[in-house]
Amino acid sequence: MVLALGQLSALRRVSSLYFYLAITCLLVMLAMMAAMGDTAEEEPGRGMTAHGLLEPALKVMIVGDSMSQGREGDWTWRFRIWEWFKDQGLTVDFVGPYNGTAQSDLPSLPATPSVNEESHWKSEIRTNGGYASGLSQDFDKDHFAIWGRAVAIDKGLIYDVLAAYPADLILLMLGFNDMAWFHSDAAGTVDSMRTFILNARAANPRLKFAIANVPQRTFISGREDLPVSTNIYNALLREAIPGWSTLDSPVQLVELQENYDCAPIACPVGYDGLHPNAQGEYQIARAFTLTLVKDFDIGASPLSVPTVSGGPLSISSKFQDIGSLPQGVAEMIL
């Protein structure tokens, strides 16, 4: 009987020990969860998964020309789509080697387009320009968009850029300069786009692509070929894109021409017949969000375009000087 009572007492002590250990573990777990919540609040742009873990940011690279880089004083459509990602509660990290617009000290532009312009545009990179006053200080400005850039150039650069700045999703807006500056015709531009995708996949086989077609611009005397080439390219691109997709690396079309209010007869959303004004920046961003929501299931609803002043936000003297070039040259610079 004495032995039985001793065993009972020992069991009670062991039970008490396990009880206190369980309480201690519970308190530690609660403290860790609270700390994780504090960390998430301190890191804007990062979300939480359903299991309370930090959600990795979707790495987005915007690849383009002047319509994506913007000029000094612009808001840029990059900012407008960044706002959309944020409003949708999406966790993103814009990546790329540059973070500025084209500053006002642009180089002297060539008098006429020629087939040898590639070396000119590769050597004249301007990326130190600022943005519109009032731009959010939190804006993730990183990008790979350069004034005058063609996909014929970027197809040879994209592997190294992605190796240095890994991405999950590319928002691509190139092609006009290829045809405007005689890098290639419409079919050759589509071929350059295909090579761009293959080279990008060599850096990341699971990379996703949202590729914009080319918008029309107001008519330029002496370049009657441009509207025709643009339409041919867009038709060829639409036909080719489904064949470029893979299970791990989908490619989807962004219908920019259909959503950007610019045409040979008028361009109310462009400050020079093509480049976006404040309204145009929203329209470009919306075109991309339509594809992201519909084809990639990224975001719940596309960007709504507000009514904003369409005029340019600022024009430096250097940009004004561009107008003194022969007719058609300044308008074509992308």
Residue 282, token pair as written in the block: 């929203």
Kindly indicate the confidence band of residue 211, based on its pLDDT and cuts at 50, 70 and 90: very high
* Fold type of domain 56-332: Rossmann fold (3.40.50)
**pLDDT for res 40:** 40
CA angle 156, 298, 37 (to 5 degrees): 110
pLDDT per position as a tens digit, 18-36: 555 555 555 556 555 555 4
Report the C-alpha gap between 334 and 177 in whole angstroms.
6
The answer to whether the beta carbons of residues 276 and 283 sit under 8 Å apart is: yes
Report the C-alpha gap between 63 and 146 in whole angstroms.
8
Within the chain, strands assigned E span 47-48, 54-55, 58-64, 92-94, 144-145, 169-173, 208-212, 251-254
With 0.75 as the threshold, say if the pTM is over it: yes
The DSSP output letter for 108 is: P
Q: Which residues of 117-130 are buried (b: 16+ CB within 10 A; e: fewer)?
A: bbeebeeebbbebe
**DSSP helix, strand, coil percent of the chain (3-state; round to 5):** 45, 10, 45
Kindly indicate the confidence band of residue 181, based on its pLDDT and cuts at 50, 70 and 90: very high
**pLDDT for res 123:** 46
Crossing angle of helices 278-296 and 77-87, in 10° steps, is 50
Biggest CA-to-CA distance, the chain = 113
Q: Stretch 60-85: mean pLDDT, rounded?
A: 98
The answer to whether the beta carbons of residues 265 and 218 sit under 8 Å apart is: yes
- Which of these, 260, 230, 169, 162, lies nearest to 202 by C-alpha position? 162
Mind spelling out the 3-state secondary structure of 250-283?
Answer: CEEEECHHHHCCCECCECCCECCCCCECHHHHHH
**pLDDT for res 112:** 38
Kindly indicate the confidence band of residue 308, based on its pLDDT and cuts at 50, 70 and 90: confident
